[in-house]
Amino acid sequence: MSDIQSYGIAWPRFRIEDSMLNPSTGRKGVTRAICFSDEDVMTLAFESSINCLAKSQISDLKSQIDGVFFATSSPVFRNRYHASFLADLLNLPQGILAVDFLNSSRSGTDALLLANELVDTGKYRNILVVASDVDFPSIGKETATSFGHAACSVLLSREKGMAKITSAQSFSSSVAEEFSYKKKNIQQDPRFSRDAGFKTNLASALKKFVSTPASFDAVILNSLYARLAGAVFAKAGFEERQFTKDSLSQKIGNTDAVHALLLLMNEMENEKKNILLADYTNGTNFFEIKNHCSLTEKILQNQLPEFELINSYQDYLLLRKAGNFESLKYETKEMFSSEMMYEREKESLIYLEGLKCAGCETVYYLETTRCKKCMGEKFSGVQLSKTGTVYAFTHEHYFPSSFPPITMAVVDLDGGGRITVQQTDTMYPERNKLEIGSRVKLVLRKMIENGSKPDYFWKIVLINNS
């Protein structure tokens, strides 16, 4: 079976309290992770993937990845593969296996299941599984469902990693408790469907998949109906002490296709040795995971407190509508973009590959034919840093945004190179004041909030606020 070589997680900086979404029905102490207006499933997926690949112990990793699986229940593209687009953003080899798993809360473990099978056959060496979801409920009904935004990337490999998937299997169900049809939510009679669907499927799957219930020290059940499963698991031989509590939903919300993977990583960080993961949506995906690594870096548990609360419901509406662009005075403005220019310049624009002068070693971000310092004409390629120091900045009041003004900054990158970029996550400028000399890092975001094309580019956030 395959090993979990590494994992990476990404969630937005902003949270909103349930009581802010609805003072009468919102639960106190419960927060939801909410994307900024220039974030989406692709930017979160990219960030989680970068975090995942950075922690792998495999040498020359990018050339060793031969598959990317992308899972989401909230796709941003139609007739374009999210997986292949993400692989290109990550500068992975062309022509690798790239597959999308869409429109189900079980998509994340669907992708994990197939990746495990393919690595286990020996035909594939390393498959990057990425789950990312950014979805909003109807306005006024936010507290009716535990939504939240996040991404999780898992690298499955033949190489020994932090945990091994020793067994995995999927059990389908023809009865769907609730689903969407013609953009309307359909809910079957729960008295029938949850017995005929959820309980029946789970009981049958447990009987076939689990032979020794007592061997598990952590049992994860990811399902909207998890509270109804106690009797089913008890009849199969499990005890209440084996079950894990979903502490993540209270902090970031239920992240849909991402959630089962986050719960798994949370128990790995808790150093549970033998984990059973059951992910139910119109059928159950089962995994048995042997965790044989003590984690010193506990991402889920150590980084979750780092967030910024949204002050008002109106600010939340501005984020979810990606800008207040509906007034009669507003005229749509499109930023110039060219697919040919993107392909020609993406080594520098996206991959941050610069030039170093062979004579004086001055580093340049943009292509140049002659060194401005020593007038040399010989250069070599160099990978630019994603951190740096603000050299100069200005505030732009003309171009429309949800939270004006837009701050543009000139940044001297660590190790050389200078880039002009926009500051992001600036819903509350007083908390994110940029100064000359401020330390910042580059993050991939959408160029403009309401753009009709998928234009992604680097922006900056303050390091102490990242």
Write the pLDDT tens digit of every residue in 212-241: 999 999 999 999 899 899 999 999 999 999
Check residue 335 and give its pLDDT.
61
Cα four-point dihedral sign 56, 60, 64, 65: positive
- Rounded to the nearest 10 degrees, the angle between the axes of helix 82-89 and helix 41-54 is 50
Q: Are 190 and 318 in contact (CB under 8 A)?
A: no
Angle among Cα 175, 211, 173 to the nearest 5 degrees reads 10
Check residue 439 and give its pLDDT.
97
Question: What does the alpha-carbon distance between residue 54 and residue 35 come to, in Å, rounded to a whole number?
Answer: 23
Check residue 334 and give its pLDDT.
61
Residue 329 has pLDDT above 70, yes or no: no
Cα four-point dihedral sign 103, 109, 115, 121: negative
- Of 199-213, 301-315, 338-352, 402-416, minimum mean pLDDT range: 301-315
Residue 333 has pLDDT above 60, yes or no: no
Check residue 193 and give its pLDDT.
84
CA 235 remoteness from chain centre: 37
Closest by Cα among 211, 228, 225, 232 to 276: 211
Check residue 323 and give its pLDDT.
55
Average pLDDT over residues 80-91: 96
Check residue 296 and give its pLDDT.
67
User: How much is the mean pLDDT over the chain?
Assistant: 90
Angle among Cα 86, 92, 96 to the nearest 5 degrees reads 90
Check residue 73 and give its pLDDT.
95
Instruction: Read off the tokens for 176.
Output: 């769907």
C-alpha pair distances (Å), 98 with each of 71, 317, 347: 11, 34, 21
Check residue 31 and give its pLDDT.
94
Check residue 302 and give its pLDDT.
66
Average pLDDT over residues 327-338: 58
Instruction: Read off the tokens for 268.
Output: 């790995």
CA atoms within 13 A on the CB side of 366: 4
pTM of the model: 0.94
Question: What does the alpha-carbon distance between residue 344 and residue 52 come to, in Å, rounded to a whole number?
Answer: 28
Q: Are 416 and 388 in contact (CB under 8 A)?
A: no
| Banded model confidence at residue 244, pLDDT cuts 50, 70, 90 | very high
Check residue 83 and give its pLDDT.
98
Check residue 305 and give its pLDDT.
57
Better pLDDT: 69 or 342? 69
Average pLDDT over residues 277-291: 96
Question: What does the alpha-carbon distance between residue 422 and residue 37 come to, in Å, rounded to a whole number?
Answer: 14
388-415 residue pLDDT tens: 999 999 998 877 777 888 999 999 999 9
Average pLDDT over residues 3-30: 92
Domains of the chain: 3-320 (3.40.47.10), 339-351+385-465 (2.40.50.840)
DSSP 8-class letter at 402: S
**Which residues, listed in sequence order, are joined to residue 170 by a DSSP beta bridge?**
285
Percent of the residues in the chain that have a pLDDT greater than 90, as a whole number: 71
127-183 residue pLDDT tens: 999 999 999 988 888 888 889 999 999 999 999 999 999 999 999 998 888 888 887
Question: What does the alpha-carbon distance between residue 298 and residue 450 come to, in Å, rounded to a whole number?
Answer: 36
Average pLDDT over residues 289-306: 75
